[in-house]
Amino acid sequence: MSSLSPRSPVDLHMHSLHSDGSLSVEELVARVAERGVRLMALTDHDNTAGIVEAQQKAAQRGIGLIPGVEVSSEWSGIGIHIVGLGIDIHNRELQRGLARIMEFRDWRAAEISRLLAVAGMPGAEEGARRLAGSRMVGRTHFARWLKDTGHCQDNAEAFQRWLGRGQVAYVPSDWIPMSEAVDWIRQSGGIAVVAHPGRYKLSGSRLRALCEEFRAAGGGAIEVSSGSQGAADREHLGRLAQQLDLAASLGSDFHGPEIGHAEIGQIFPLPEGVQPVWERLGYADFSLH
C-alpha cells in the first residue's frame, strides 16, 4: 500500500463471508488489526450472523467493534443501502425485518437462476450458492459464477449483460421502503446511516430530498467518506450533513483483497465541521482532528 493512500483508524463499513465479502470473520478482524484500524463495524448485507464472532475476535485484539448491518431498501424506485450502527442484534423487530429481506433474496436467487437457464445458462443458483460463504446470496455471487463458467470476463460485464437493471436476468427488486429500514434500526437502538450517497447517481436536489426524507424518518447520519464513492464527494456531503443536522460516518465498504472498492481503513478523513457518528455511539475518544 502506497504511503499516499489515505489511512483511517476508524472504518465503519465492511463485509465478511456472511454476505458478499470473501474473508471469514476471523480473517477480516485479523486484517483490520494489520491495517491499524482500532474501531470497526461489521456491516454485512441484510443479516447479522457474523456479529457475535466479530465481537469475540475484535475483543481479543483490543479493537472496538460496533455491531452493524447494511439493509437493502428502496426510495423513489431506486435501491438505497441503509447501514445500521450500534444495533441490538437480539431485537425482534429488526430480526423479523431482516428475515423478510433474506426470504426475498432466496426467492430472487431462484428467479435469477430460472432466467439465466432460459438464456442457456443452467445451474446458476447452485453455482452461486456454492460460492456464497453463508445463506446470503446476492447478485455479486451470480456475477462470480458467470465469470467462472466463462459467460463473461468480469463482474462489470456480468452486470452489463445479465444481472443489471433491464438485462436478461434482472429481477425487479422488491426491497422494503427506506423509512422501514430506518425504523427497524432505530427500534433496535441503532443509528441509521445512508450508505455511499455518492453512488446512487442522483442530482444534488434529489440527493437532498432523499436525505431530508431519511432524516424525517429518524435517520441519523450519512456516509460522508466511503471507499466506494469518489473522494471529491466528501466536501459536498459534509456540508449536506451539517445543513440537515446529520452526523457523518466513514467506511471502506471492503469486500475482500481481490474485490473492487477500497482496502480496510483506506478512506479519507471526514472534513472539518461535521459530527463523527462514532461520537454519538459513545466512542468520543476516536476523534481524529
Which residues sit at the interface with ligand AMP, rule CB under 6 A? Answer: 45, 72, 138-140, 155-156, 159, 164
The burial of 242, by beta-carbon neighbours within 10 Å (0-12 exposed, 13-18 middle, 19 or more buried), is given as middle
Instruction: Tell me how far, at minimum, the Cβ of 241 lies from Mn ion, in Å.
Output: 18
Residue 156 binding result from Mn ion, ligand AMP, none, given CB thresholds of 5 to 8 Å by partner type: ligand AMP
Q: Of these, 38, 193, 253, 264, which contacts Mn ion (CB under 5 A)?
A: 253
| 44 counts as binding Mn ion under rule CB under 5 A | no
Contact 241, 274 (CB under 8 A): yes
Distance (Å, whole) CA 152 – CA 158: 6
CB contact at 8 A, 177 and 64: no
Binding mask 268-287 for Mn ion (x = CB under 5 A): --------------------
Query: Which residue is closest to ligand AMP by CB?
Result: 138
Residue 253 site contact among ligand AMP, Mn ion, none (CB < 5 to 8 Å, cut-off depends on kind)? Mn ion
Q: Which entry of Mn ion, ligand AMP, none binds 31, CB below 5 to 8 A by partner kind?
A: none
Binding partner at 271 among ligand AMP, Mn ion, none, C-beta below 5 to 8 Å by kind: none
Among 65-73, 143-151, 261-269, 276-284, which window interacts with Mn ion (CB under 5 A)?
Answer: 65-73
CB of 119 to ligand AMP, least distance (A): 18
Question: Cβ 45 to ligand AMP, closest distance in Å?
Answer: 6
Nearest to 105 by CA among 84, 87, 132, 85: 132
Contact 87, 188 (CB under 8 A): yes
- What string of DSSP letters covers 259-277? SSSPPTT--PPPPTTPPBH
String of b and e for 118-134 (b: at least 16 CB within 10 Å)? eeebeebbebbbebbbb
Is residue 200 within 8 Å of 73, Cβ to Cβ?
Answer: no
Q: Is residue 125 a contact point for Mn ion (CB under 5 A)?
A: no
Which positions touch Mn ion (CB under 5 A)?
20, 70, 81, 195, 253
